[in-house]
Chains A and B, each alone.
Chain A
């Protein structure tokens, strides 16, 4: 009957867990806490080979309860966390990290720093690969806190510098923080992964001390190393760095070109388009048209007046000069079956006119050129514009009528 007992024990354990989950999801923290105290008995005979064992369960649920329970204090929370750290050796670093997050959320930065330092000095047996990774993460977060202290000191110094007064001790301290932060941050960004926040801090440190080569190298590695996930932010950081450095247009364009390939719908595509439009090279202007067309394919850009004005400007230029009409035609070919319904429906004409007149102006211009003067969108907007006696819209109508032959060549 020991087997039966075991089964019963397992069943009641499961039932208890169900009750706790039920209480958690209904925000009944007190009830959940009461059940959790019963669940602690599950630790006694832990035969389970489940993905998450009872001790981990207690840690996770306990933190959640203590975090929300109205009568819990930070002291109790810390106490619970300390107990949890000793409950499972394999989980020690994870629990530490979680504890630190909670302390940070409560604004106890110094305690958090202490905890991180303590965790860093912790050793248990042979270090496994997972432990190694977690240790790196702990060090990185300590580096982040060092960076935080560093930037605080920096601000103090900057303020003092304005007064024409400098404190050597503060400066020394600041350099100390820099060294500690840089060492740890440098380590984490070597591992393939998404480390945006660490990256930004590290680059900021390097730039402050004028180590631009190192910064460039790190950013390039982060953006172009194929072991890292294709992270659009990496290219954004690189582009921003290059821009700060006053790099040539060419390198800026090549950075943005890759961003365009990864995420055609990125906000920076407007900058990219403006940059390309200004270029003297035909190929680049052509790319600019591609970029802005591609961006406007996305639903998130539908009502972006700036993007529409970019497109309208470039299309207008091409129509006036009557050169490279084939560019527009080629872009339009792959879109003519769905753009009219997506962008230029009568419903949208009405709504755009009501909500944003300048957006409807730009869109009407594009619609008039791409679809001709009989297009619903153009007809509605130009009609409304003329009715409202807006000079801009009258000019728009005249422009499209004048170039209707060109328009025919595009849409035909």
Chain B
């Protein structure tokens, strides 16, 4: 995979597909809240505020047009979570899907974990393309035959039928979180996973639902002394004893489960000293980390805070090795962003397959890619206007101040209601899924 955009050998991104309703009147239940490719990239799952999961499957490669990558079509749709009511606390529990994580495929069926604020569920998605026919005691429509009319016996056989994709909940992991779950992460041992809320991290075994181990607890004895919360956590991609969690103070802690049962003491603390010249009312808010992701290699860590993306080397704790400004022009607008609540938006970030490029979302349906190797970045837009089949996306530019050039957009004309919080990159290919409020855009690199 080459670079991020531009000419020459660089990747040029083309529109491939858009999923979701076209009309501007967005139903709240349709707001996409999470996007995740499966380990092979063949499946793409989205979760929405209404508790629904929609899975898209990549169609098999078209033999007559091998250079044109195939499209993603709806494979399965199911209601994962329903709204619930906690009678003890008089609180409604939202059905919004906060995170989806795929399990690696072990057999014909696919498995994924989906979570709302309180409950994690393991779903099995399986295909049925044949059914038994020729029962002796039943008609084909299911009605029972009169036994006296049965004169011969036959063995039922499987006959092909139209493909049916079934999703069934295999495990429900409930009642383990007092606060709102913000992350789940499957361990590389493929047997355990962790779930994280604001103050605690629990370790589960995929087969066991009635208990979990608490491995991190930062709840202070006196809640008045609370100064930070956990914002995200993830297992190391190949070291099954290692995980990291990020905090609202902008720090990341790496923990080793071999050290002790309770990982309150971190093995490493990644923290960059604050730049005093940037101090403001809102410094704490913008330094809060909204997402943390290991690189595929496991060597690097990426964190996203409100204005930037940082890459950390696991071997260096005192500062990130790379910092990319996502939308620095917003630094002077923090007060307005506080007023309209945008400052609380939690942007996610992702790596491409070979860890050379990272991607994250912004406002005005813009998303940004940073090529670490080539030290280049590009801003692209997910919009209906640039949605003609295979049309190449034009790089966008925001004018921070001064004279606005042609084709540039001024900061004041940015639409802060159009935010891209969730993006995903295919594990091997240059295919990306970008979620706007209620639409899922799929872009691919331009075929040669």
Is B one of A's binding partners?
Answer: no
